[in-house]
Chains A and B, each alone.
Chain A
């Protein structure tokens, strides 16, 4: 039923053994195994990639879509409620992104570059860091990978401006995540990537469910503040670049 992109296919070989492995990873993650935890993250990304691939029938387009979906996911962190399920939500974003791309006729519009006819088996690396060396359980690593990919794409790609914006966005997200302390970040990542229920995160980090909720809501508040601070800075700069007035103060209202 699903046409899987080649890159993702090895990860998803054999649905049954997959389900069993997932069960095992959850078990191990529960007992505090970080390796298993990273494995869960990889799988969720692979699932998203599979979905995007089946919708677009194009491996690279699928990669793009998942990347964009992840960016979108980051940018909308502030609107995530405690009860929302990350995977389902990411899938919805992937779906929307895919449909949008397809409606527009793919990333290249009506023109498909020559290489994309050559099938999925291109050998030349599309990015500085290849997907194999990325630790998908680590936000820093993921962001670094995505950013360097975007940079590479801006050098080779058809729309350098868009790629540059993406690179800057990714660096922005990276900067945002840095405002959290280590523990907040870990809990945040566990929720964000692992889609683990707060009770499991609590036992993973040796805290209470209430503690997890507190940490998550603190993290979200911090991220929101940081996002706003950065975007206001950019807004003010943009106004300056447009030559808009810097300062205007009317007479104070009476009484």
Chain B
């Protein structure tokens, strides 16, 4: 199992999780690591595939408000959401700006989208005199004029953290598993994206089909490989950390430890397959996914990953059912 043990765990290709982690690090839950956030929000387990050409847009094509609200919910936060469509009427612009500013006034950056590039980012400061927001995403740390912020391409997206609730580790794990399993089984609510993307385990089949028909867009394909490979590294790490942390003696601790430990092994296999895929299809160059030899080799690796991830999901599914209704500690029949 040669998965990436030595990588930098403070960076991720999933900007939604990066932004959530960034915002959370200003709250009383700053102890949550990026690995925790990737795991508990389910982002480490996501796979959103464009079945036509493996488009570069697919990894961020999810109902952002819904997913981020649930992400924050899993971590024990209530939140606010703004997502009016462009062109945004002035009264709504003001409301969204007030939402951002009140969050910053409380000391927590607001999560937004497409500050400098079309990925999630954080607004961490404002200056009314200069009419500027201070923002950061994975590409840049800089300022955004209010007028530019108010004139988005598609929608004016902002999510802010409200209250921090004292969720127990049991609730956190159960909510996380719920999202992970629903996504893997293709049951996640997709809103306007319904039917355009294939999610979870079924995504592997769609992906292999694109390669088989030699339709993969080099650039987009490599980006999907990078995002999903990065996510699965975090998945394997999250699961083994959890298996280590649940070290108590009762039936819940024992079951979590066992199931998470088993799932971790399967996800480590997935991660290892993606290490090879990343070598073959580096982003942004992209390699040659239309080349018959490379395509067939990639399909083989994806088949291995799918088999391992299927077993991993089965463990997580079983654990999810257990977390909803613990078994008896002892059963004398």
A-side interface residues toward B, CB under 8 Å?
A: 75-76, 78-79, 220-221, 224-225, 227-232, 235-236, 239-240, 244-255
The closest CB in chain B to the CB of A232 belongs to: B146
Complex CA gap A82/B141 in Å reads 38
Query: Is the Cβ of A248 less than 8 Å from the Cβ of B125?
Result: yes
Complex CA gap A221/B87 in Å reads 8
Complex CA gap A228/B148 in Å reads 10
B-side interface residues toward A, CB under 8 Å?
A: 10-11, 18, 22, 25-26, 87-91, 93-94, 97, 101, 104-105, 107-109, 122, 124-129, 131, 134, 136, 141, 146-147, 150-151
- A79 with B127, Cβ < 8 A, contacts A232-B147, A252-B141 known: no
- A236 with B124, Cβ < 8 A, contacts A78-B87, A224-B87, A228-B151 known: no
Which of A224, A225, A235, A249 sits near B124, CB closer than 8 Å? A249
Complex CA gap A248/B126 in Å reads 6
Residues in chain A near residue B136, CB distance under 8 A: 252-253
Complex CA gap A75/B108 in Å reads 34
Determine chain A's interface SS by DSSP, over half rule.
Answer: helix
- A229 with B147, Cβ < 8 A, contacts A245-B105, A250-B104, A253-B124 known: yes
The closest CB in chain B to the CB of A220 belongs to: B87
Residues in chain B near residue A254, CB distance under 8 A: 10, 22, 25
- A248 with B105, Cβ < 8 A, contacts A78-B87, A79-B89, A225-B147 known: yes
Complex CA gap A251/B124 in Å reads 7
- A79 with B105, Cβ < 8 A, contacts A236-B131, A248-B125, A253-B25 known: no
Not counting A246-B127, A250-B104, A250-B108, a sample of 18 additional A-B residue pairs whose C-beta atoms are within 8 angstroms of each other reads A79-B89, A225-B147, A225-B151, A228-B151, A230-B90, A231-B90, A232-B93, A235-B93, A236-B146, A246-B128, A247-B125, A247-B128, A247-B129, A248-B126, A250-B107, A250-B125, A252-B134, A253-B124
Expressed in whole angstroms, the minimum distance between the Cβ of A31 and any Cβ of chain B is: 35
Q: List 29 A-B contacts (CB under 8 A).
A: A78-B89, A79-B89, A221-B87, A228-B90, A228-B93, A228-B147, A228-B150, A228-B151, A231-B90, A232-B94, A232-B131, A232-B150, A235-B93, A239-B101, A239-B128, A245-B101, A245-B105, A246-B127, A246-B129, A247-B126, A248-B101, A248-B125, A249-B126, A250-B107, A250-B109, A250-B124, A252-B141, A254-B10, A255-B10
Q: Shortest 9 CB-CB distances between A and B: which pairs? A: A249-B125, A231-B90, A253-B22, A78-B87, A224-B87, A250-B124, A247-B127, A246-B128, A236-B128
- A227 with B107, Cβ < 8 A, contacts A246-B128, A254-B10 known: no
Determine chain B's interface SS by DSSP, over half rule.
Answer: mixed
- Total cross-chain contacts (CB, 8 A): 87
Expressed in whole angstroms, the minimum distance between the Cβ of B136 and any Cβ of chain A is: 5
Complex CA gap A228/B88 in Å reads 9
Expressed in whole angstroms, the minimum distance between the Cβ of A113 and any Cβ of chain B is: 31
Complex CA gap A134/B211 in Å reads 68
The closest CB in chain A to the CB of B125 belongs to: A249
Expressed in whole angstroms, the minimum distance between the Cβ of B63 and any Cβ of chain A is: 23
Complex CA gap A227/B86 in Å reads 13
The closest CB in chain A to the CB of B97 belongs to: A235
Q: Count chain A CB atoms within 10 A of each CB in B93, B109, B128, B150 and give the residue with the most.
A: B128
Residues in chain B near residue A239, CB distance under 8 A: 101, 128
Residues in chain B near residue A221, CB distance under 8 A: 87
Complex CA gap A253/B146 in Å reads 20
Residues in chain B near residue A228, CB distance under 8 A: 88, 90, 93, 147, 150-151
